[in-house]
Chains A and B, each alone.
Chain A
Amino acid sequence: MSLLEVTDASVRFGGLTAVDGLGFSVEAGEIVGLIGPNGAGKTTTFNMLVGLARAAEGTIRLDGRPLAGLRPHSIAALGMTKTFQNVSLFMESSVLDNVVTGALLREPLAEAKASARRVLERVGLAGVAERPAADLSFPERARVEIARGLATRPKILLLDEVMAALTPAEMEGIVALVRQLRDEGITFVLIEHHMRAVMTLSDRILVLSFGRKIAEGRPEEVARDPKVIEAYLGREWAAEGAGPGQARP
């Protein structure tokens, strides 16, 4: 049994079908990349998984348990949470308090504070623990997002573009962190526009276009898939004859 199983799931907003009959599964310990052009439904897919958007059809199972009708906090308690693409920290609270809020899911306040500090240490933010989240730079905020998610002790953590606006060195840091965490048993699905990062990090890639899965496979397979090059990379890349594996930073 896979850790996460999505079968024929669709999400609709009014007349718009943002996710259309999507099916995929994620094995425990995997790192799966979710890519696709803007508006392909990647973030909506994440929202559907964590319970922010309702799947009109289909089933989602976490550890074999159907998630239909569960609110996001229950899904977090079952072990799946996400970071936000547009960074949704509690801006007026300190970095530590942000992470404590996540840690409170599993333990009482005193212990949650201790765990939160450990998590901040882990992601390299111990030095700014007492600062208001609003004071941080964007790369730091992305790390706080990850820390807050980690503090909930997820089995599977969904990362929505945590590497946007990062320098290559900072990106290396996140890549290393995700690998380490995976080795400790956390499963990841990540949405990332930065091709090199997502290609090197992922064991497997899913490609979405217009809410549908158009390709799935190992990074190098996906990068060669003509459908992907056409739908996702479009004219620009097709003309240069380059696959996403050789994408520029």
Chain B
Amino acid sequence: MSALSLPKRCSALARPRALLLAALAAAAAIVPLFLDPQGYWVRVLTLTLIFAALGQAWNIVGGLANQISLGHAAYFGVGAYASTILLINFGLSPWIGLFVGMALAVVVALVLSVPTFRLKGHYFALATLAAGEALRVIANSWQGVTGGPVGLSVPFMPDSFWMMSYGAPRPFYWIALAALVLVTLVFWWIKSSALGYRLRAVKENEQAAEVVGVNTFRAKLWASLVSAAATAAIGVVYVQFTYFFDPDAVFGVATVSVRLALVAIVGGIGTVIGPVVGALVVVPLEELVNAALQGQVAGLSAFVYGAILIAVILVEPRGLVALFGRLRRGLGRRPGGAGEAGR
């Protein structure tokens, strides 16, 4: 459809940024060569990439359309369960399971769109929160298929790309990086396409958007479907990487829904680089806190990320990217000017 037609040419401004991002991705790709392939840091960085990709997927609806979803765990968990169940019961490759998961997530997003798209702001957040929780309840109680509260383990297999199975974390690093690059490209493409214009219109004034001919429901639906599919696909990568999960791990509000939105918000909601920056700050910090205390103080890492969230919102609700910009401008000019950047 026309909403998804490729922008014919990049604007003059976008080209150097594209090069910069390509260079960043290339640099990121060689990082694990210098790290112990079994080691702690590869694991942490892989998780960082996974959450950056998730944040970017959330950014498509949360950032571009300002639809603040607190229920993205629904899609994440659907992907995780779909591929793992197919793998356990039919030996199906997770790569195929990934597409099944994406398809199911799209169905879930379609079903949810009907009751939730008329809602705005807080109400949308509440409805999506309840939707994610509903799926967690289902996963907990549908024991025959999901294993219930006990959770599922990904069967052990020899290293194989086709089965997305590796003993060491390093290959997952590259898979996660590829996922991040892909989702970022999709985000960028949507942002600069006709759909991006329509979503910005929805974000800034939904009524006015409708009146000048934007089918706001359809714009939100496209964004939501793409975001859901991407989130489900990353969910598959995540569980292949972690081997084991239960309903709380993949359908949880704090563990998934809030965390992936947090990544986008801490970095900079609606920006291309925001989720990457956010994940680079949030995930390693959480891991460091856990490692420093060897997990002795339960709740500390979550406490820390809650505190980061509050701090970022109080200091600069538009995230670290905006904060850096403010600081840089502030250093160059009068310090008092920074306040005007806030809303």
Contacts and interface: CB of A to CB of B under 8 A. Distances in A.
Q: Judge A-B direct contact (beta carbons within 8 Å).
A: yes
Interface of A: 50-52, 71-73, 76-77, 81-82, 84, 88-93, 97, 100-102, 104-105, 108-110, 112, 148-149, 151-152
A72 B5 contact: no
Contacts of A100: 197
Interface in B195-221: 197-198, 200-201, 204-205, 207-217
A146 B207 CA distance: 16
15 contacts: A50-B211, A52-B207, A71-B210, A72-B207, A72-B211, A76-B213, A84-B211, A89-B208, A90-B201, A93-B200, A102-B212, A104-B197, A105-B214, A108-B194, A109-B8
Specify which of B5, B194, B200 lies most central, judged by the most chain A CB atoms within 10 Å of its CB: B194
A82 to B, nearest CB: 6
A99 B5 CA distance: 19
A152 B208 contact: no
B193 interface: yes
A149 B215 CA distance: 15
B2 interface: yes
Contacts of B295: none
B5 A109 contact: yes
B213 A91 contact: no
B91 interface: no
Nearest to B6: A109
B208 A109 contact: no
A82 B213 CA distance: 11
Query: By DSSP majority rule, is chain B's interface helix, strand, loop, or mixed?
Result: helix
Given A109-B197, A152-B212, A91 B204 contact: yes
Contacts of B2: 108
Nearest first, the 4 A-B pairs at minimum CB distance are A105-B213, A76-B213, A88-B208, A72-B210
A105 B197 CA distance: 11
A73 B214 contact: yes
Interface residues of B, number: 23
B207 A73 contact: no
B194 A104 contact: yes
A148 B208 CA distance: 10
A148 B205 CA distance: 13
B211 A90 contact: no
A200 to B, nearest CB: 27
A90 B212 CA distance: 12
Given A73-B213, A77-B213, A104-B213, A110 B8 contact: yes
A90 B213 contact: no
Contacts of B197: 97, 100-101, 104, 109
B7 interface: yes
Nearest to A75: B211
Contacts of A82: 211
Contacts of A149: 212
A90 B207 contact: no
Interface string B1-45: 010010110000000000000000000000000000000000000
A216 B135 CA distance: 59
A91 B203 CA distance: 10
A101 B8 contact: no
Contact of B212 (A51, A71, A81, A109): A81
A73 B216 contact: yes
Contacts of B194: 104, 108-109, 112
A90 B198 contact: no
A148 B201 CA distance: 12
A135 to B, nearest CB: 13
A109 B204 contact: no
B5 A101 contact: no
A76 B210 CA distance: 8
A148 B5 contact: no
Specify which of B200, B208, B209 lies most central, judged by the most chain A CB atoms within 10 Å of its CB: B208
Given A104-B197, A109-B193, A73 B215 contact: yes
Given A104-B194, A109-B5, A84 B208 contact: yes
A201 to B, nearest CB: 22
Nearest to A158: B211
A150 B334 CA distance: 42
Interface in B168-211: 193-194, 197-198, 200-201, 204-205, 207-211
B189 to A, nearest CB: 12
Given A109-B193, A109-B197, A102 B213 contact: yes
Contacts of A92: 200, 204
Contacts of A51: 210-211
B51 to A, nearest CB: 27
A73 B210 contact: yes
Contact of A101 (B7, B193, B198, B217): B198
Nearest to A84: B208
A152 B200 contact: no
A51 B211 CA distance: 8
Contacts of B204: 89-93
